[in-house]
Amino acid sequence: MVVKFKDCCALKPSHPTWQGCLTLSEWDQVGVITHVPTIYFYKPDHNFVTSSDTIANTLKDSLSRALVPFYPLAGRLHWIGGGRLELDCNAVGVRFIEAESSSKLDDFGDFSPSPEYHYLIPTVDYTLPIHELPILLVQLTTFKCGGVSLGLAISHAVVDGQSALHFISEWARLARGEPIEVVPFLDRKVFQALNLPAGSATLGLDHSEFNHPPLLLGQADNIEERKKKTTVAMLSLTKDQVEKLKRMANEGTKFNNSDTKRAYTRYESVAGHIWRCASKARDHKNEQPTAMGVCVDSRSRMQPPLPQGYFGNATFDVIATSLAGDLVTKPLGYASSRIREAIEKVTNDYVLSAIDNLRNQPDLTRFQDLHALGSDQGPFYGNPNLGVVSWLTLPLYGLDFGWGKEIYMGPGTHGFDGDSLILPSPDGNGSAIVALCLQVAHMDAFKKHFYEDII
C-alpha cells in the first residue's frame, strides 16, 4: 500500500487554557507508559463531503475546541527523576497528519490488523526525548474510493482506555455541533489525597503485581523471548461459543441464595480459556509457573467512587498465577477462579496500599512497561505469561463525527508476545473478538486449541 503524506501540523487549543505542571498519580507512571494505537474506518456519504477538505477541516476545528476542556492532551511529559513523570500543560499542541492512499477500503477485507496499519496510524519516535513527544497524534487518511481512516496514538501515561474514549466521544460530539456531555475531571490529586490511616493493617497487604512475572524454566532472563518473531490474530467467538465457555467455567459450581459466589463472567470465562490455550500452545511443562495480567478499573471500587469524568489512569493491574499443569489438566473453572481471585483483591484498601507502596519507591523504572521502546527492562508478559485486557464494557463503537458511524473500529498493531484484548462484537449480540499477539511458533497451535477446546 502506498500512502502519501500531505500535511502535518500542531493543533493547539482554540482558546487559552491553564498552563503549569500537572502532578501525575502513581497509576499514571507505572505499567504501559507508551502510546496506545487505535483505528477507525469510515465510508462517508458522498453527498456530505462537499470538498476533499471538508472532513479534515471539521476534524481539526473540533479537535482544537476539544483541547480546551481536555487541555492536558496538548501538553508534554517530563522526567523529574526516580523514573517519575510530570505533565507540563503548555498548550504546545497535538500532532495532526493528513495522508492519502491509492488503496480502497475493500482492499482491507475484514480489517484484521496487518502491517499496512503502520502507514495509517501515527508513528511515535521514541528515540526523541519524552518532552518532545506529543501526548496525542492523529492521522486522517483518505482512500481512492472516498473512504477514510482515523488513526490515533495516545499516551497511556496520561489516560487509560476509559478516559481516552471519553475524550474521543466528546470530540465527536463537538464535530457534530453538539455540546460536551461530561466535562473531564482533571485534578489528579483525588489519588494524591487518598492516604492510609496511620497504622493501617493494609500496609501489610501483598502486592505481587509489582514483582516481575515468571521466567521460562531453565532461563535466567527473558531477553531471548523478547527477540522472537510475533504475529497477530483476530479470533471471533460467536454468542453460542461465549455462552459455552461460560457454562464450561461454571460447570460443577453451585450458586444459591446462601452462597456468596457469583457465576463466572464473560471476561473470566473467555480470559481463562485464552490462558489455558496459551499454555497448551507453548507446550509448557506441568511445573512451569505462569502469570496472567488482569486490568481492573478502580473508579467504582474506591470509597467514595472517583468523580464522574475522572481523566487519567484509574486502572489497576493485578496478577493471576498458576502452574501450567494445573491450568491445562483442571476444568476451565479453575483458570477462571484464579482470575476471579486476582480481581477481587482490588478493593479500596488494596488500591490505597498499592499507592502507598509506590510512593515509597525510590525509583519507578522497574514498574514501567517499556518494551515498546526496545528495552529489556520492565515487566514482560510474553512466554510463559500473557496479559488479557477487557474492552468488553468500554463504549468502543458508534463514533460519529458528522458523516456516519465507523464501519470498523479496532486496536492498532501490537507486536508484543502475550498481548491480548477481548472486544465485544460491534453488533452487540453477545459475540466477542479476541485480538492476540503470540510468537509465530505458537500461533497455529493456539488457534487449534482455541476453537477445538470449546465443547
pLDDT at position 370 is 60
Q: Categorize the per-residue pLDDT at 209 as very low, low, confident or very high, splitting at 50, 70 and 90.
A: low
Shared domain for 309 and 177, answered yes or no, is: no
Shared domain for 162 and 257, answered yes or no, is: no
Q: CATH number, domain at 85?
A: 3.30.559.10
pLDDT at position 397 is 94
Residue 415 has pLDDT above 50, yes or no: yes
Shared domain for 271 and 165, answered yes or no, is: no
pTM of the predicted model, to two decimals?
0.91
In a domain, residue 201? The reply is no
The domain of 356 spans 214-452
Shared domain for 323 and 435, answered yes or no, is: yes
Shared domain for 307 and 168, answered yes or no, is: no
Shared domain for 171 and 236, answered yes or no, is: no
In a domain, residue 111? The reply is yes
In a domain, residue 120? The reply is yes
Total structural domains in the chain? Answer: 2
In a domain, residue 30? The reply is yes
Residue 52 has pLDDT above 60, yes or no: no
Shared domain for 225 and 176, answered yes or no, is: no
In a domain, residue 36? The reply is yes
Report the chain's mean pLDDT, rounded to a whole number: 89
Shared domain for 65 and 109, answered yes or no, is: yes
Shared domain for 334 and 446, answered yes or no, is: yes
pLDDT digits (tens, 9 = 90+) for 230-269: 999 999 999 999 999 999 999 977 654 444 478 999 999 9
Shared domain for 347 and 442, answered yes or no, is: yes
pLDDT at position 69 is 98
Distance CA 269, CA 336 (A): 6
Shared domain for 38 and 179, answered yes or no, is: yes
In a domain, residue 334? The reply is yes
Shared domain for 309 and 162, answered yes or no, is: no
List active site positions: 156, 400
Q: What is the mean pLDDT of residues 382-400?
A: 94
In a domain, residue 338? The reply is yes
pLDDT at position 258 is 43
pLDDT digits (tens, 9 = 90+) for 286-334: 999 999 999 999 999 998 899 999 999 999 889 999 999 999 999 999 9
pLDDT at position 162 is 95
